[in-house]
Amino acid sequence: MGQLALQRLPPLASLPRRPPSLPPPSSASPSLPCATVSRRPLRPGFYVARAMSSHIVGYPRIGPKRELKFALESFWDGKTSVDDLQNVAANVRKSIWKHMADTGIKYIPSNTFSYYDQMLDTTAMLGAVPSRYGWESGEIGFDIYFSMARGNASAHAMEMTKWFDTNYHYIVPELGPDVKFSYASHKAVVEFKEAKALGIDTVPVLIGPMTYLLLSKPAKGVEKSFCLLSLIDKILPVYKEVLADLKSAGARWIQFDEPILVMDLDSSQLQAFSDAYSYMESSLAGLNVLIATYFADVPAEAYKTLMSLKCVTGFGFDLVRGLETLDLIKMNFPRGKLLFAGVVDGRNIWANDLSASLKTLQTLEDIVGKEKVVVSTSCSLLHTAVDLVNEIKLDKELKSWLAFAAQKVVEVNALAKSFSGAKDEALFSSNSMRQASRRSSPRVTNAAVQQDVAALKKSDHHRSTEVSVRLQAQQKKLNLPALPTTTIGSFPQTTDLRRIRREFKAKKISEVDYVQTIKEEYEKVVKLQEELGIDVLVHGEAERNDMVEFFGEQLSGFAFTSNGWVQSYGSRCVKPPIIYGDITRPKAMTVFWSSMAQKMTQRPMKGMLTGPVTILNWSFVRNDQPRHETCFQIALAIKDEVEDLEKAGVTVIQIDEAALREGLPLRISEQKFYLDWAVHAFRITNCGVQDTTQIHTHMCYSNFNDIIHSIIDMDADVITIENSRSDEKLLSVFHEGVKYGAGIGPGVYDIHSPRIPSTEEIAERINKMLAVLDSKVLWVNPDCGLKTRNYSEVKSALSNMVAAAKLIRSQLNKS
């Protein structure tokens, strides 16, 4: 299974036999004890809470201790069977549904579980499989499903990019006029029946047709001008089949997730949205319909269009990030419709201020009536950690300030009970005390840091000379060949490496033994790169668990969890740090390691740092001050590290800003402010270095074309950027006339697939780049870091990459 060779596997939605039992998620948290739920028997073995107006948009599917991750990776490696994987998945789903039912949630979602990604599930449901995977008809099985996600020996994976402004990645559908849509995955109805067999009535959730199409891309070979919405008439019949299937299975509700409505849609797109739901109206008869929006305010015109739909029973809004939507609701909300009020934050881990949320709900009561308000999460809880009860590293005070997904379910229920007149005074009093504790804690505020950030507004922090002058000075010092080769930073993180780090943290081995082990790993990575002929080396980051956590652990104002995992994509999970207070750097963080690595080679060795915007966007950020203030604090800490690396003789320093694009606000009117402070934060980190010190940055897995001018304004000497998995669409911006004078390395191969590209394939990519970029500024590198690959794959791919660079160099020399 390592190369995902195509084989016939059972249908994706087939049910396992006798799933084992997972312990249910904890309902308890230090700040919000489990509310007592009164139940009434419905039929033998089934109990349901009294009807409370409560709803959860979605829930994490990885399991409280990443059970799904480990099951997936074991299956992909051929160590376990399909039945083993499906049993773990069924166990995770059962645990989630039971927790919500036992807590008292009325509207419990189903079909929010996924083996990889919910957009990929929708692609499977619609039968929109690209032709390179060889699927023709029938129920889509794991072989085709995982090939689309990860690639296989003969076909590359589909593109992956960020889901709106989150750190979750979705698989981008590839669509064109010749796609023949068909009902090819019955996962939604199978999971509804699965929950029903457990005695739990759920609300099946589907990605709405507008969101699906507008987040797709034209397939390769299809004109860029192809209108994806022209396919709406082709996919709606499949949606109608799914609806009929769900109704036959006994579904009473259906939830369409349409977060695309928070974007700036034009009038034709809004008309298409309205027409789509009007077309489905006959199929929706007999169903209660919820349309859920999230991540931002719904613009006025989109809100007006949404409110005009007659077939809809309820509307869901994010009232955490979309406070302006409240004004629209006050002006106009249709009589008789339900308002699903997303007052519990689905994207952060801070305990809800129950009293403040209750006031919001009471405001809504005055507008639409108490019986029409449903308490909900702001979005799916997919974006937060699973269960606080599993945390053993957090101190008691900090833990009392938090709520993970399992606790947020309880918060929703507590607010619903209080709103209906059964307020738990003791619980609300305890919550208020913990909110006050956080506001007054001395560990949160550092006056000196606040003053330093205030002083930053006096400068824009540009380097003193132009990039063209700096590149000349750097070339004299580094003496690099044309098309210099490098990698992005990390090398494979082996099982032994992870074990050594765990043992050192647990004090099972001495610091001397730990440093010696890491040094030996560095030597192996350096030797490999020198043998391959890489020009600018990296040390491979053997000492690092995660590119954000490694730095956060050495900065004040950060806290770390033991099991606060969040899905990034597929089986890849991250453990975001918690930023709870003002940030300082007590001592140097990487100088020791980078200096050690530089002494092992005569070639340039990159000092590797994570940039302030990425650290911010990949953390759970404090919500008691503006995000840009926190980002500037991190920037000052990274600035100190950059200058210490330079003093230690490191001449190439990479400051990764992989997440700069993902923090871009969804509304155009808010984007300039974000880009101004984000770019400023990056410039702060390196504004004081010498011209001969080369500053690199790296970005990945987002659409960068619309922010290219801000990327240029970052004023880095070299940028490496993901390019190959996205079908080289980055290059189109240079075809359109954008001039980029700094060094740039669009990725030449996709590191998230086990597939090994040939020398010829990589050379072809380099030639495409040379059609729009000067050979004097072009670098050759992979898309991203190599930590998720094994050494066999890395050696082969990098060997082909270097060979391709040398081939094109020789051609350039001849010409």
- Angle formed at CA 121 by CA 120 and CA 124, multiple of 5 degrees: 90
Q: Angle at the Cα of 657 (from 729 to 695), degrees rounded to 5?
A: 100
- At 113, give phi and psi (nearest 5°): -70, 150
> What's the start-to-end Cα distance of the chain, in Å?
45
Residue 752 is among the residues annotated as catalytic for this protein:
yes
DSSP letter for each residue of 600-623: T-SS-BEEEEE-HHHHHHTSB--S
Structure tokens at 519: 């040094």
Q: What is the rounded CA–CA span in Å between residue 779 and residue 485?
A: 6
The token pair at 735 is 């075809």
The structure tokens 């300082």 sit at 584
Which region, left, alpha or beta, applies to residue 66 given φ > 0 means left and ψ of -120 to 50 means alpha?
A: left
Give me 666's structure tokens: 């969804």
Q: Report in angstroms the alpha-carbon separations of 570 from 135, 196, 348, 566.
A: 21, 27, 21, 11
* CA-to-CA separations, 6 to 125, 142, 147, 181, in angstroms, rounded: 20, 9, 8, 22
Catalytic residue among 186, 461, 698, 752: 752
- Buried (b) or exposed (e) across 206-224, using 16+ Cβ within 10 A? bbbbbbbbbbbbbbeebee
SS3 10: coil
Specify whether the CB–CB gap between 379 and 296 falls below 8 A: no
CB atoms within 10 A of CB 525: 25
Pair 404, 384: CB distance under 8 Å? yes
- Token pair recorded at residue 81: 């069977």
Residue 760 vs residues 415, 555, 753, 771, 814: alpha-carbon distances, Å? 61, 45, 18, 17, 19
* Pairwise CA distance, residues 30 & 12, whole Å: 39
Helices 511-532 and 591-598: crossing angle in degrees, nearest 10, is 50
Q: How many CB atoms lie within 10 A of CB 265?
A: 19
Cβ neighbours for 524, distance < 8 A, ≥ 6 positions apart: none
Helices (H) and strands (E) in the chain, counts: 28, 22
CA atoms within 13 A on the CB side of 187: 34
Integer Cα distance of 395 and 692 in angstroms: 45
**Residue 554 identity (one-letter amino acid):** Q
Distance in angstroms (rounded) separating the CA atoms of residues 678 and 650:
25
Query: Which residues are CB-contacts of 237 (< 8 A; sequence separation ≥ 6)?
Result: 181
| Segment holding 805, helix H or strand E | helix 791-814
Contact 13, 194 (CB under 8 A): no
Do residues 272 and 231 make contact, with C-beta atoms less than 8 angstroms apart? no
Of 768, 21, 31, give the one whose Cα is nearest residue 391. 31
Convert 606-623 to b/e letters by CB count within 10 Å (16 or more is b): bbbbbbbbbbbbbbbbbe
Euclidean distance between CA atoms 119 and 135, whole angstroms: 18
Residues 6+ apart with CB under 8 A from 310: 281
465 Cβ partners below 8 Å, 6+ apart?
Answer: 691
Taking 3-state DSSP, the helix, strand and coil percentages for the chain, each rounded to the nearest 5, stand at 45, 15, 45
Catalytic residue positions? Answer: 752
